[in-house]
Chains A and B, each alone.
Chain A
């Protein structure tokens, strides 16, 4: 068990959660909650993998995965924005749909052999920084580096640009935005689409980089739901999302590695001597998500301005909302 390896792998597998969470942040900042992340991620993972198997080009797979996630998200957009249906139920429906479609189209894909993956790179100078260099800049998939770039970019976009200003306004007070000529429906459709792109990217990150392959529903194994918990924990802030995602990623790796050594912290390692205790370790990320939610929800209550005020409420012009 090497702490650097755990953290390095944590950053890698946390990148999946990071992309999904960033997508969720865009969704929710515009006032639309999308519980269908898991479904969109599965579609993304399946599309990326099958495209790469067929064409041998992982980059094409990546792009098609994002588009697939984006297209699926538009069903949710139509149902919740135009038809004003309940966002929770629609999100669930989207998960069913995404899971079902990816199982149907991904039939037999799990038997596909080795594919060419996205490149793994090491940054020459940065990787030599002690400790940090090994964790963040050594032997990581190019998508991990994309994650580093995305976080500040998203933060800057949301807080410092005009589209970001409009995004926040639509999520906080759609009637105000509408009165100034911002097309609330179009903005919401757009960011639900962006959320879909990110979810598709997250799915592709799994099947093309982090744990390559197609393992039907087990490909995502509930990471989409964990990401929804992380969105709340992040308080809709990309930097906090990054922190949360990497911690979760590291936790996943820790659970695998902790079962390895016979001696742990100078004691006999119970997980080594009875591997069945591993089932309790498997519960950890999910239990941890609940704890994270408790923390996030408490904070959301404390400073009420964190939550987009119009989250979950369909906008109907002329009706007094928030």
Chain B
């Protein structure tokens, strides 16, 4: 990376001093200081909920700080809106891409600008955008509609959007979360390129190895306060960073008993299905999960994982194939059929699918067993036994909530996930589909969830763990299947990350073996 002598001379392009931001019930940033030098990649590190995104949203003009000030090139600024921030050369690339799916690349890039003022002659601008892309090594098709592009391409459009606006400082919020390992390499090269051309980059992440690899300096946040400000990345160990992030040592590996698989619980045979847009998204997937094992599904987001989970739990029709559980084919039945066969589902989207936000904790935990005794009493619902059940789960699973009548929309992410886990696990599932069960949780909560999953495995459940966090997959799973464009590329038993990475980008395992590529990387 950069020489330290050179870094010393470099001036601060951004200084944030004493930034405080309070949300109802949370102090998201507490007197946070941050500075960025020109031509550096500065990592902003912290757990989920540490206040990284809030701080950067303030810098990008989305939020106003309650107190504190921001200096750009030594001059104090106050952003009333993102427009002001962009005007000052600050461009933020959000974790969820801010692109309008039905519009073209050019339209998205021109959105919100004053030029052209009224009539849009897109042809002329298409050319400008291609040229800009060539300059920074970001090739795009300007006429393509966003929904037609891959996630990696969409990220390029996002970067170009900011460069087109003359951004000098790029804030990237967890940019690698949606990319395959090889795509991450390409992104890192692009970032180095841009820094070489005089831009500065703030790189938000909670992945220690990436931070080590890319950043010149780093700042660590914990629970809204700074625990390390602008320290040189060189020479800092992973253990140091973890301590700064969490405030204590993290155990990097989980204690895991040896896997002792029993009989196959579920057999998936040649399953095909369509996604919401009506395109093929799972194309002939076959595998089985035995009782007492965790099978991981690795893959870049959007390669059919969600659809696969939906099909297995009866939420989506499959166009072809069989899903046999306990001798019955549950393909193309409904969610109820799955529930009856002991299928539990921890969905990816907690608020939109997993819970009913305005209903009470009680109503939410009985969702899957209100038709069973003792909660079901004829055509009535036995309210007292439902409440007893809810209280029991609240105690066993440590759900922190004022009362079981509280609507779940008022719960924190970790508590919400506990409500779902409590509901799905207390039914003693034979087959559990867990999709991204730890996403967005803090370290303590992650450990809790992982332990619960292992307990279920040891109790004899068959678990399918779908995750985009490779480290989590490797540490939890007994074997890992890699999915790419709705097909299984191969199976890995030893957690070889390079092998998984190559399969995630579409190389089949048998091709890998032939070319012997695995051993080179």
Chain A residues within CB distance 8 Å of chain B: 160-163, 165-166, 168-169, 172-173, 175-183, 304-305, 309, 317-318, 320
Contact = CB atoms under 8 A, between A and B. Distances in A.
Contact of B101 (A161, A180, A309, A317): A309
Give the top 10 A-B pairs by smallest Cβ distance, nearest first: A181-B83, A180-B112, A176-B98, A179-B98, A173-B100, A172-B100, A305-B102, A169-B100, A181-B82, A182-B112
Contacts of A169: 100, 103, 111
A232 B287 CA distance: 44
B81 interface: yes
Contacts of B120: 160-162, 165
B118 A161 contact: yes
Contacts of B147: 305
A116 B97 CA distance: 57
Nearest to B61: A181
Nearest to B161: A180
**Which residue, of A169, A183, A305, has the highest number of chain B Cβ atoms within 10 A?**
A169
A178 B113 CA distance: 12
A135 B102 CA distance: 37
Given A172-B100, A173-B100, A166 B277 contact: no
Contacts of A183: 81
A172 B102 CA distance: 8
A162 B277 contact: no
**Which residue, of A173, A181, A305, has the highest number of chain B Cβ atoms within 10 A?**
A181
A163 B101 CA distance: 18
Given A160-B119, A317-B62, A177 B112 contact: yes
A7 B102 CA distance: 36
B113 to A, nearest CB: 8
**Which residue, of A178, A180, A183, A305, has the highest number of chain B Cβ atoms within 10 A?**
A180
B276 interface: yes
A179 B119 contact: no
Interface of B: 57, 60-63, 81-84, 86, 92, 94, 96-103, 107-108, 110-113, 116-120, 147, 161, 276-277
Given A165-B103, A172-B100, A175-B98, A180 B276 contact: no
A12 B83 CA distance: 46
B111 A304 contact: no
Contacts of A161: 118-120
Contacts of B60: 179
Contacts of A160: 119-120
B486 to A, nearest CB: 20
A26 to B, nearest CB: 17
Given A160-B120, A317-B62, A173 B99 contact: yes
Contacts of B94: 179
29 contacts: A160-B120, A162-B110, A162-B119, A162-B120, A165-B103, A166-B112, A168-B100, A168-B102, A169-B100, A175-B98, A176-B97, A176-B99, A176-B100, A176-B108, A177-B111, A178-B62, A180-B82, A180-B86, A180-B98, A180-B111, A181-B82, A181-B84, A182-B111, A182-B112, A304-B276, A304-B277, A305-B147, A309-B102, A320-B96
Contacts of A175: 96, 98
**Which residue, of B63, B101, B116, has the highest number of chain A Cβ atoms within 10 A?**
B101
A270 B462 CA distance: 71
B458 to A, nearest CB: 36
Contacts of B101: 172-173, 305, 309
Nearest to B110: A165
Nearest to A163: B118
A181 B118 CA distance: 17
B103 A168 contact: yes
Given A165-B120, A173-B98, 15 more contacts: A162-B119, A162-B120, A163-B118, A166-B111, A168-B103, A175-B96, A176-B98, A176-B108, A176-B111, A179-B82, A304-B277, A305-B101, A305-B102, A318-B62, A318-B63
A226 B485 CA distance: 44
Contacts of A178: 62, 82
Contacts of A318: 57, 62-63
Contacts of B82: 178-181
A165 B107 contact: yes
A304 B274 CA distance: 14
Contacts of B112: 166, 177, 180-182
A177 B102 CA distance: 13
A142 to B, nearest CB: 27
A179 B86 CA distance: 9
A163 to B, nearest CB: 7
B62 A162 contact: no
Nearest to A304: B277
Contacts of A163: 118
Nearest to B119: A161
A320 B413 CA distance: 14
Nearest to A308: B102
Contacts of B111: 165-166, 169, 176-177, 180, 182
A179 B62 contact: yes
Given A169-B111, A180-B83, A318-B63, A162 B118 contact: yes
B95 to A, nearest CB: 10
Contacts of A166: 111-112
Given A169-B111, A173-B98, A305-B102, A179 B118 contact: no
Contacts of A162: 110, 116-120
Contacts of A172: 100-103
B29 to A, nearest CB: 14
A144 to B, nearest CB: 28
A226 B43 CA distance: 56
Nearest to A181: B83
A62 B240 CA distance: 73
Nearest to B162: A180
**Which residue, of B83, B99, B102, B147, has the highest number of chain A Cβ atoms within 10 A?**
B102
Contacts of B117: 162
